[in-house]
Amino acid sequence: MREEESNWFARWDEQLPSPEELTPLSQTLITPDLAVAFDIHRRRSSNAGGSPDPSPPPAHSLPPSSAAASDLDPSDGGGGSAAGGVDEPARTLKRPRLVWTPQLHKRFVDAVAHLGIKNAVPKTIMQLMSVDGLTRENVASHLQKYRLYLKRMQGLSPSSAAVGGGGGGSVSAADMATEHLFASAPLPHQFMPYGHQHHHQMAAAAAAAQHQQYFHHQQRQQMGHFGSPPDHYGFLRQQQQQQQQQPPMASLGVNRMVGTNLGGCSEDLEETGSARKVLTLFPTGDE
DNA sequence: GCGAGAATAT
DNA sequence: TATATTCTCG
């Protein structure tokens, strides 16, 4: 059960939904029409290694200029000045709260594990995760919580902390909730004690470079999306169903794949208990 | 000025 | 509560 220390990364693919199933955050936040209308492709590129990813995906047949999505922007005040302040909708629009799905969490944890505590800083983690739309703040915020979680794990006895005991008293509901989320990740033992990182002595910059070899076998298109948008966004689900039929959206994603992928890893999909229900891994019907 | 980390707010 | 935002510090 703990062999992942050698090939934990080999199971990265399993958690990654297919590109067809995923919707870039930018789209989830902006609505396809709006995004296309404004040529919004992506906010930041997460390539810090060597692939500049020079593949701008402007290959969208965008409607002339009738961007009928002004109501999308709350900051507009309902005035209807869509034509005026829509220069940077991506920036203006408030992103919905990022939901850290187990899959997303796993990426996060994996990234942290590979970086080692030393280099596991928001920026580096973010780069490693290569999730489109994911911001440093997102990672920082989660990292903060994750550290608290780890601290708890260290402070409490593993047995009780492992499952939350139930009547322990030391484990609160928060712990359990956190566990359910974090429990989906392997929680590398290297974590616990600061300073026990393994062979990752690289600096942040180097980490970025490693990033390439790190993913060298699974850098696929899907690499750049959030795990699974909860169906909080009703409209989202509809989009997804449509998108799964539209292959040409791949470019919007992110880093281009290196070629092959699937390291041949099809392991268990760790379900986070009830979390998988919330997960809403697009019921696109295909899967 | 940038980024990390913690505190605070929503 | 979970995540975002803000603040402080290096």
Amino acid A223 CA to nucleotide B8 C1' distance, rounded Å:
33
Q: Which nucleotides of B are covered by protein (CB under 7 A)?
A: 3-7
Per-residue pLDDT tens over the stretch A40-89: 444 333 333 333 333 333 333 334 333 333 333 333 434 444 444 444 45
Shortest CA–C1' contact from A97: which nucleotide?
Answer: C3
Report the nearest residue to nucleotide B2, CA vs C1'.
Answer: A123
Look at residue A114 in the predicted model and tell me its pLDDT.
86
In SS3 terms, A9-75 reads as HHHHHHHCCCCCCCCCHHHHHHCHHHHHHCCCCCCCCCCCCCCCCCCCCCCCCCCCCCCCCHHHCHH
Shortest CA–C1' contact from A123: which nucleotide?
Answer: B3
How far the first Cα of chain A sits from its last, in Å, is 27
Report the nearest residue to nucleotide B10, CA vs C1'.
Answer: A97
> Lowest-pLDDT range, A113-117, A156-160, A198-202, A255-259?
A255-259
Amino acid A80 CA to nucleotide C6 C1' distance, rounded Å:
31
Per-residue pLDDT tens over the stretch A123-152: 999 988 888 889 999 999 999 999 988 888
Which residue from A41, A37, A38, A36 is spatially nearest to A53, judged by alpha carbons? A41
CB-side neighbour CA atoms (13 Å) of A194: 6
Residue A113 has pLDDT above 80, yes or no: yes
3-state class (DSSP) for residue A258: coil
- DSSP letter (8 states) at residue A152: H
Amino acid A176 CA to nucleotide C10 C1' distance, rounded Å:
34
Measured from the Cβ of residue A11, the count of other Cβ atoms closer than 10 Å reads 21
